[in-house]
Amino acid sequence: MPRKSIEDYLKTVYELSQNGATVSTTDISRALKVAPASVTEMLKKLADKGYIEYSPYHGTTLTGNGRRIAEKMARKHRLLERFLHDVLKIDSQKVHKEACEMEHSLSDDAEESLCRLLKHPEQCPDDGKEIPPCDLMISSCEECMQLHSQGLEEVGKHNQNLVAATHLKEGQCGKISFIRGGHNMLQRLLDMGLTPGTKICVERVAPLGGPVELSVRNSKLVLGKGVASKVFVDVEKNS
């Protein structure tokens, strides 16, 4: 099985299931422009390799491993989009297709350099989607800059299941890893008790892109989707 197509499949599942929901085979086949029968076959193979969980009736969800690869691809893709758009000044309509071709051959080192060069962008030029966080063991962008000047070797890789709080399902818990955002927003969230290392559980998710309700430090907090997507947590296993 070619690596490129594994990556493409995982990325598609990732993008179709933005809040951890299952994805139907029909949706995948439509998105990849591949016949449903071949999609089913491919999904079975991916499930065997442990990248996804697949059941014919319920659809597909990513496993931790699958998610990590998918996130990496999404990150490379979106960074490339920014690069093509901001630096090479390519039209924002065209960057997506270009990036789709280039993402598979971009090495991790090149990805890090690209991230630094672009000063740690947060969103894509064409659709405003969030760029997933980088997987180094660091928690703010300034730090990444600083550490680079000291040599990156000492920084370990995250071996965590890092996701935005919007990806958690009701009842899932995790530890806050870091929060992305301006000084004011960050301070407000810290003041409400969302400090790094704090355990949060998702109590309720309002439908249709509504807010999430978290329990934190024996109290309940409601965060709009916009903020919740900036809070990155290390998901607790089997919760």
Partner 1 sequence: MSCHSCPYLNKNEINQKISKRIKIALAGNANVGKSVIFNHLTGLHQHIGNWPGKTVERAEGTLHFKGYTIDIVDLPGIYSLSTYSLEELVSRKYIAVERPDIVINVVDASVLERNLFFTLQLMELETPIIIALNQMDIAKSKGIQVDVSKLEELLGIPVVPTVAVKGLGIVKLLKKAIEIIEKGPREKPAEVRYGEEIEEKISLLTEALKEVQVVYPRRYVAIKLLEEDEEIERDIGRIAPQIVSTAKKLAGEIERLHGHGCSTVITSERYEAAGCIARAVQKLVPPIRPTMGERLHNFTTHKITGYLTLVSSLLLVFYSIFTFGDYASGLLSTLFYGLEPLFTSAFGTGMAGSIVWGGIMEGFIAGVTIVLPYIIPFYIILYFLENSGYLSRIAFLMDNVMHKMGLHGKAFIPIMLGFGCNVPACLGCRIMETQRERLLAAFVTTLVPCAATTVIILGLVGKFLGIQWALALYIFNLLVIFVLGRLAFKVVPGESTALIMEMHDYKWPHLKTIFKQTWFRVAEFIKIAFPLIIVGSLVLKLAEVSGVLESIAAVLSPVTVAWLGLPAITGITLIFGVLRKELSLVMLAALLASTGGLASLTDVQMVVFTLVAMFYIPCIATIAALWREFGWKKALFITVFEIVFAISLGGVALRLLTLVT
**Which residues of this protein are in contact with partner 1, per CB under 8 A?**
138-140, 142-143, 146, 178, 183-193, 195-198, 204-211, 213, 217-227
Residue identified by tokens 């064409």 is 126
Closest distance of CB 125 from partner 1, Å:
17
Closest distance of CB 24 from partner 1, Å:
20
Residue placing its CB nearer to partner 1 in the complex, 36 or 226: 226
Residue placing its CB nearer to partner 1 in the complex, 90 or 173: 173
Residue placing its CB nearer to partner 1 in the complex, 43 or 189: 189
Closest distance of CB 127 from partner 1, Å:
17
Q: Write the burial class of residue 34 (CB in 10 Å: 0-12 exposed, 13-18 middle, 19+ buried).
A: middle
What is the token pair recorded at 27? 């949706």
Residue placing its CB nearer to partner 1 in the complex, 2 or 207: 207
